A and B are shown apart, each in its own frame.
Chain A
Amino acid sequence: MINFSNLAELISIAREKSLPIHEVVIAREMHISLRSREHIIKQMADSWMVMQESIERGLNNTEKSLSGLTGGDARRLRLYSSRAGAEAPYLGEAAILAAAAAVGVNEVNAVMGRIVACPTAGSCGIVPAALYAAKQRGASEEKLVLSLFTAAGIGMVIDQNASIAGASGGCQAECGTAAAMAAGALVEIAGGGPEKVGEAVALSVKNLLGLVCDPVAGLVEVPCVKRNGFAVIEAMLAADMALSGIKSVIPVDEVIGAMDKIGRALPKSLRETSQGGLAVTPTARRIERELYGE
């Protein structure tokens, strides 16, 4: 059977068999789930539909979350994105729309809307927003759905060799993994080969190493919602760097190894316990009192 435990193996299988990474991931999934290729691809296409619904809802969202801390920023960014001339967004309309989509999906998550955890709920906006950006410039539905298998393969490798849970590895494990998944998918959509997918993952993960998980009042809102916007931009830049031919000095699996060690070294207070970082600032403490009482 086809199997892989790190990215070097995934990339070399793809090279040996002259297959894109998504095909290697699909072959493994067929083997372990005993389901047909059609069935697996259909399930992924359904997930992509849910992702797109959450983007549409997010871009128009004016509803505040249960806590009142988030809601409406995705719409703000979307309205801002089309400004022209001297008022035009620095990053350009497409990038701002991608950031808006990422923020929007996480706003939908915060109002108890339906999302696809990718890899987690707190980081659920990043991969869909990256694919949304690719769709805006003409990528086919088929290509987008297949690229989600490449994203999944990257997430599986990081989960295996580091972590995808904020409680274990901090936010680098959640938004960091999501950005790496998005970067790899974007490279593949643009026609980059398996090695370039690996470079994009390495570049992306390196930049978010050490990111802590310190949510205000223990909620998946501050800083998570806006961070999804930053992370999709980071993923797009990592994809562009890899596609331009830039290589990571540290090989991708060593980067993931470093991510694992950093995650283990993070104090518990910065791993989703809300006992450190932003969560213990005076303002966060005030918000906590307002929400839960003394």
Chain B
Amino acid sequence: MTREREAACQPPFSVYEVKIMHGVFDIVGPVMIGPSSSHTAGAARLGLMARKILGERAVRAEINLHGSFAQTYRGHGTDKALIAGIMGMEPDDMRLREALELADKRGLSYDFRQVELQEAHPNTAVIYLVGETGRVARVRGASVGGGNILVTNIDGYEVELSGQYPALLTIHHDRPGVITRVTQILSRYEVNIAFMRVSRQSRGETAMMIMELDDEPATDVVEECGQVPDVELARAVPAV
């Protein structure tokens, strides 16, 4: 493979490695519930992200914690933050510290387990959710510092989702033309794709596509994408 070709094949996610100067409110901010931006605020965002990927109210949560999350979660309120996020709370919600009691009241049952994962970021959680209509989602993500997160796996598909942008997620048959048909819809509605990734479990089976967008896609855009032949599911995952 030539050098140019190799460069062209690099996924766009290399942007995560380039140090871009932050904005003012990344330094003075975020407004958050303590004690830790990575173990509390980031955990709340991970929970919130899982809730948005599930797309409905969760009634059951099984959460596996790895590394530093597993070791120090009680002292940092990581458990409370994750559950708060799963109930839809933002990282600066004052109810975060009572999240476990609130979960009991709202009919969300939960379990935490300490696990050791292979080659995982030290602050990794694997969140398995069951929703009120029986929908399930399995989300693996890490709190990567300063309250920032990176979701790396959804339902067995490798992804890279930061939650900084509104996203559109599709599950579709791994066939030629599906991606074009979906992106054409976005183009027609003038929705710009900032980052995009396609991942599949094996050739010709189902695949997952995640597009991080500059603007929140309207409901009819998402619905239209869902009606594309070979697309099983299209879902908006708002920024968190």
Contact = CB atoms under 8 A, between A and B. Distances in A.
A121 B40 contact: yes
A220 B31 contact: no
Contact of A217 (B29, B34, B75, B96): B75
B156 interface: no
Contact of B28 (A109, A121, A148): A148
Contacts of B80: 112
Contact of B35 (A165, A181, A219): A219
Contacts of A151: 27-28
B145 interface: yes
Contacts of B94: 114
B41 A33 contact: no
Interface in A134-178: 148-149, 151-153, 155-156, 159-160, 164-165, 167
Task: Find the residue from B24, B26, B32, B96 having the highest chain A CB count within 10 A.
Answer: B24
Given A112-B34, A112-B96, A164 B27 contact: yes
A117 B147 contact: yes
Interface stretch (A42-50, A191-199, A205-213, A243-251): A42-50
B47 interface: no
Interface string B145-172: 1110000000000000000000000000
Given A159-B21, A219-B72, A219-B75, A44 B146 contact: no
Contacts of A20: none
Interface in B207-223: none
A110 interface: yes
A47 B35 contact: no
* B31, B35, B37, B75: most-surrounded residue (chain A CB, <10 A): B35
Nearest to A108: B34
A50 B34 contact: no
A124 interface: yes
B141 interface: no
B29 to A, nearest CB: 6
Contacts of B97: 111-112
Contacts of A237: none
A118 interface: yes
B113 to A, nearest CB: 16
A8 B72 CA distance: 41
Given A114-B33, A127-B28, A165 B77 contact: no
Given A25-B24, A159-B22, A159-B27, A121 B36 contact: yes
Contacts of A25: 24
A219 to B, nearest CB: 5
Interface string A201-244: 00000000000000001111100000000000000000000000
A116 interface: yes
Contact of B32 (A5, A117, A152, A219): A117
* Residue among B30, B37, B75, B94 having the largest count of chain A Cβ atoms under 10 Å: B75
- Which 10 pairs show the lowest CB-CB distances between chains A and B? A109-B34, A155-B27, A112-B97, A218-B72, A152-B24, A220-B35, A152-B27, A219-B75, A121-B37, A29-B24
24 contacts: A25-B24, A29-B24, A47-B31, A65-B35, A66-B77, A67-B75, A112-B77, A113-B33, A113-B34, A115-B33, A117-B31, A117-B146, A121-B32, A121-B41, A124-B34, A152-B27, A155-B28, A159-B22, A164-B27, A165-B146, A217-B75, A218-B68, A218-B75, A291-B74
